[in-house]
Amino acid sequence: MGKTKTIQRIKVAVVDEIPQKLGKTVHIGSHEIALFHLETGEFHAIENRCPHKGGVLVEGMVSGEHVFCPMHDWKINVNDGQVQKPDKGCVKTFKVEVENNEIFIIL
């Protein structure tokens, strides 16, 4: 018998709390997550540490679907967590749902 994964749906904010093109740090258990509000109105959540030197991504500049690490300007896609060339690496992504103006992260 295999282990059954438990899915958690955790309310982390309301839409009006996070201005567009900015992020918010969310702590869920051992996870430190950067929640971003894009210009399109979409929300995306990724691991809050750059794979390069551990820069705090929520403090980075958001442009389109990317966040730029504040330490060394690495460009990371908030959809899939992929670091953009010429740099390499990725961060974990988390599913986000918005319902009735409330934002949930799915673990």
**What does the domain layout of the chain look like in residue ranges?**
9-106
Give the global pTM: 0.91
- Locate tokens 């282990």: which residue? 3
The CATH topology of domain 9-106 is Rieske Iron-sulfur Protein (2.102.10)
pLDDT given at position 98? 97
55-94 pLDDT tens trace: 999 999 999 999 999 999 999 999 999 999 999 999 999 9
pLDDT given at position 16? 93
- Distance separating alpha carbons of residues 47 and 5, to the nearest angstrom: 20
Beta sheet of 66-68, edge-to-edge order: 61-63, 66-68, 75-77
Residues 6+ apart with CB under 8 A from 26: 12, 13, 32, 33, 34, 35, 45, 105
